[in-house]
Amino acid sequence: MALQDAYLSHREHGIQPDADLALLEILTGPTPPSKTRFQRRDAELDPLILAAAASTGPHATRNHYQHDFFPAISFPKVEGGFDWTKWNGDEKQGRRLTYASRQAPRSQRLRKEKENLAVGVVSPVRIEPLRPTENFPSSPLRGHAPSTSIPVSVSASSQSPAGVSTSVSSADGEVEVKCMARTRIPTPHGTVFLHLYHNTRDAKEHLAIVVDPAQFSDAPAAVPIRSRTLDAVWNEGETDMDRIIRGAYTGRLSPQSRTVALPPAPSSVDVATAPSSSHDARIPPPLVRLHSECFTGETVGSMRCDCGEQLDEALRQMAQPLVLPDGTRMPGRGVVVYLRQEGRGIGLLSKLRAYNLQDLGHDTVAANLLLGHGADERRYDVAVAILRDLGLGEDGSGEGVRLLTNNPDKVRALEAEGLRVVERVPMVPRSWQKKQRAQARTHARPEPHIVDPEAEGKDDGIVERKAGATMVGGEAVYGEDLDKYLRTKVLRMGHMLSLQESP
Ligand SMILES: Nc1nc2c(ncn2[C@@H]2O[C@H](COP(=O)(O)OP(=O)(O)OP(=O)(O)O)[C@@H](O)[C@H]2O)c(=O)[nH]1
């Protein structure tokens, strides 16, 4: 609506926003139209900036936030801008106006800033989005303390400057990961093992949440999902307590634990290429989710997105017991790789600004573009290295993964890195699942994509779950903002999900 109002108001002043907005749509739409026709436009303008300015006024874009591109009637004479006093009111003349910035030339502004500084006046701070490399110039593995850096028990091909690591090569070079700690976390979905990783790509602490409760029991089990870099011997003098503290033990710790049961050490072999134990073909490959950090959705409980719900739903699905063809039940298993790429990689600061643009009527894709970012700036090479480290690459047990996602980029990214995706499991929003269940009950049709044998026969498999104290363990999320966000993912980002009517 805001955009339409802007159209009308600018058309009144002889400006042609339609052409620019049509171009914006073409530039940001999912697929370019086969026949592109642009309306004639007189002014030389960046359409993204024009669209941003048309709907938001000044301060809309990263690089132009101090400009005002619309000559305002209420300011008849403006320094550096169009001289309205010379306009004779002729519409035609008005139509040919260029969009002048009211910002003074840079040389003048710098001079002014110097003068201000000299008299102690502080200039407004210019805020640029931070890039990870600028934030943390040195990588944690490269500059790591030598206590864990003596390479023992691994071959040269898998050595990193910090000692043991698992590596993945990509277009931007090799990325190496090393699991620094693993610990047991009881959750509303049962016990998980949280793994913290360092890597050579960035200074973020990416995580793996491993669901594999069979590691605690004598139940029939698949190959345990364990980190090779964590389990490797890090240095000759390392003690049992060193291993206990970082989590390189098997079984469960107790106040009496002073020695550890060691995992079968990947000693004297290359940790990056050693096959794990052989895999039982009856057991389905683990469910894997590549989850990107979302402070607003996971911590604040934002209902603009379904990220918190997705994290919870992923853990819930992974924790569901597996039923083998012969009827044997075994504990569920899976891995959530929790990547610290907030806001689809643009960072929290830009995401918060993007939300303001979204409140002005832009969708999640356009808002990113208007801020000078890509629609999605994430990458998954660290995730692949982590999955390999957990033995889920083709060099591990060879079972591959079942990937829980609707995002085709994630499937492509894993496959491009050589990780076998044997199945894509859709991540259906809970409110949509509920609706599908209700429809299925009405039409008595099976729902093949719902991976929840426990829920069968129950009135509703979602709301009956026990609630947790945190966002994990919460119930289905639904709201107007979320509905718009989900639709944009399907319509603009190619997500593989059938659109639903609002519940
Ligand atoms: N820039 C931006 N990022 C958002 C917005 N809403 C959520 N996010 C981020 O999107 C990411 C969540 O996406 P994911 O759940 O990993 O995955 P996806 O690409 O949506 O695909 P699925 O695997 O199908 O869920 C997190 O980093 C969120 O912070 C938004 O409106 N703008």
Q: Please tell me the residue having the least CA distance from ligand 1 atom 3.
A: 343
Q: How far apart are CA 194 and CA 196, in angstroms?
A: 7
Q: Which atom of ligand 1 lies closest to the CA of 295? A: 29
Q: Please give the span between the terminal C-alpha atoms of the chain, in angstroms, as a whole number.
A: 24
Residue ranges with strand state E in 232-307: 287-292
Q: Cβ distance 421 to 322 under 8 Å?
A: no
Which residues is 287 bridged to in the sheet?
334, 402
Closest CA to 383 of 335, 428, 314: 335
Ligand 1 test: best mutation among 288, 303, 305, most atoms within 8 Å of CB? 305
The Cα–Cα gap between 50 and 57 comes to 9
- Does this complex have an ipTM over 0.90? yes
In tens, the pLDDT along 252-268 reads 888 877 777 776 654 43
Q: Residue 343 corresponds to which tokens in the numbers above?
A: 């806001």
CA R_g for the chain: 28
Low-confidence winner among 22-31, 168-177, 291-300, 446-455 (lowest mean pLDDT)? 446-455
Question: In Å, how far are 84, 104, 105, 188, 402 from 81, measured between CA atoms?
Answer: 9, 9, 11, 61, 59
**Mean pLDDT lowest among 142-146, 247-251, 392-396:** 142-146
Nearest to 320 by CA among 425, 205, 240, 195: 425
Provide the percentage of residues in the chain whose pLDDT is more than 70.
56
Is 83 considered catalytic here?
no
Over 70: is that where the pLDDT of 300 sits? Answer: yes
Element (DSSP H or E) covering residue 337 = strand 334-339
Residue 403 forms beta bridges with which residues? 288, 424
The residue type of 292 is S
Q: Is pLDDT above 80 for 236?
A: yes
Nearest to 276 by CA among 382, 180, 394: 394
Choice between 256 and 241, residue whose per-residue pLDDT is larger: 241
- In whole angstroms, what is the distance from residue 393 CA to residue 439 CA? 38
Question: How many whole angstroms from 5 Cα to the centroid of ligand 1?
Answer: 30
What the chain holds in terms of domains, given with CATH numbers, is 2-111 (no CATH), 142-425 (3.40.50.10990), 430-493 (no CATH)
What pLDDT was estimated at residue 9? 57
CA of 488 to the centre of ligand 1 (A): 11
Which of 212, 376, 389, 395 is catalytic? The answer is 376
Residue 327 pLDDT grade (very low, low, confident, very high; cuts 50, 70, 90): confident
pLDDT for residue 113 is more than 70: yes
In this structure, what token pair is assigned to residue 401? 């993964």
Kindly give the distance from the C-alpha atom of residue 292 to the centroid of ligand 1, in angstroms, as a whole number: 7
> Would you call 329 a catalytic residue per the annotation?
no
Catalytic residue among 246, 289, 378, 402: 378
Q: Give the pLDDT of residue 491.
A: 85
Alpha carbon of 424 to ligand 1 centroid (Å)? 18
Is residue 160 classed as helix, strand or coil in its secondary structure? Answer: strand
Beta strands in 279-319 (DSSP E): 287-292
Pocket of ligand 1 (CB under 6 A): 291-294, 305, 307, 310, 341-344, 346, 351, 354, 364, 368, 405-407, 410, 427, 489, 495
pLDDT of residue 290: 97
- Report residue 238 as tokens: 């390392």
